[in-house]
Amino acid sequence: MMLRTPQVVRTAVRSLPVLAAIALTASPVLAQDTESAPEPGLSVGGLIADSGIFGWILIGLSILALALIIEAFVSLKRDKLAPPELIDEIQALFDEEQFQEAMELCETEQAFFTRICGAGISKIGHDFAVIEKTIEEMGDEESIRLHQKIGWLALISNVAPMLGLLGTVFGMVLAFKTIASSNGQASPAELADGISQALLTTMFGLVVAIPTTAAFAYLRNTLIKSVIEVGAIVEDLFERFRPSQG
């Protein structure tokens, strides 16, 4: 099963104009805060600038994570996976034994529910075991595809702290290089840049990872619940084809 990276990239790219507009709007405010602040480097813009390249990478990851979270909240809703009106319409067609019309509806209205139903309808006329296996295989395939959408959030939540740690190590290397170049006579002010970068990248890594992990856990649990509910609906729909006992 291939990861649908183009969809992820398109989601992030669609979000960039909005985020860029927000950044341009906020820049004068940040500049004013920097000018009015009694101590330099305490504004949001100053903290980001002081965090170095690793801080900017983490900011990029936070933007990507936000875009993925918004897209997942919209596309993985229960009503998106199995629209109630489609369930009622297919149920009515099944009751009237209009399976060809139900198949055409599933092909027209693409959703998690209709793709599974369509796979089952295509096997009507075969043994119930064949129908059941086809539905199960399609359900597993569609479930994996949906979990891949939120899988990127798990990746970001794992990578962000490691990037923060890498930035921390880099900042400490800068601090020790300063000590070495001054023959151990470096002042606290001379060490401040490296130590500041080390602490800021750690903070940014956690700031990105914690909400991303929480969003991933919520979306995963919600998705599992929705998949189970839709599976039960499909199972009840095709139960009429099970051979009667005795």
When mean pLDDT is compared across 27-31, 153-157, 204-208, the lowest value belongs to 27-31
DSSP 42: -
Long-range contacts of 169-176 (CB under 8 A, 24+ apart): 169/198, 170/52, 170/54, 170/197, 170/198, 170/201, 171/52, 171/195, 171/196, 171/197, 171/198, 171/199, 171/200, 171/201, 172/198
Residue 246 DSSP code: -
Mean per-residue pLDDT, 32-47: 51
Q: Dump pLDDT digits (tens) for 212-226.
A: 999 999 999 999 999
- 146 has a pLDDT exceeding 60: yes
Buried b (16+ CB within 10 A) or exposed e, 137-157: ebbeebbeebbbbbbbbeebb
Please report the pLDDT score of residue 144 as a whole number.
92
In this model, does residue 27 exceed pLDDT 80?
Answer: no
Largest CA distance in the chain: 93
Q: What is the pLDDT of residue 46?
A: 64
Asked whether residue 14 carries a pLDDT value surpassing 60, the answer given is: no
Looking at residue 200, its pLDDT comes to: 80
Rounded average pLDDT over 228-239: 91
Residue 174 confidence (pLDDT) above 80: no
Give me the residue spans of the domains in the chain.
5-241
pLDDT of residue 67: 94
Where are the alpha helices (H) located in 37-127, listed in sequence order? Answer: 44-50, 52-75, 78-81, 84-95, 99-108, 112-121
Take residue 204 and report the two structure tokens written for it.
């940014």
Asked if pLDDT for residue 158 goes beyond 80, the answer is yes
Residue burial 167-194, b: 16+ Cβ < 10 Å; e: rest? bbebbbebbeebeeeeeeebeeeebebb
Tell me the C-alpha distance between 107 and 83, whole Å: 15
Which residue bears the tokens 């998949």? Answer: 227
At residue 199, the pLDDT reads 79
Q: Tell me how far the alpha carbon of residue 180 is from its chain's centroid.
A: 44
Q: Are 73 and 223 in contact (CB under 8 A)?
A: no
Cα 209 off chain centre by: 12
Q: Determine the Cα–Cα distance for residues 91 and 83; give it in Å rounded to an integer.
A: 12
- Rounded mean pLDDT of the chain? 78
When pLDDT is averaged across residues 125-153 and rounded to a whole number, the result is 91
Cα–Cα dist 72/223, whole Å: 10
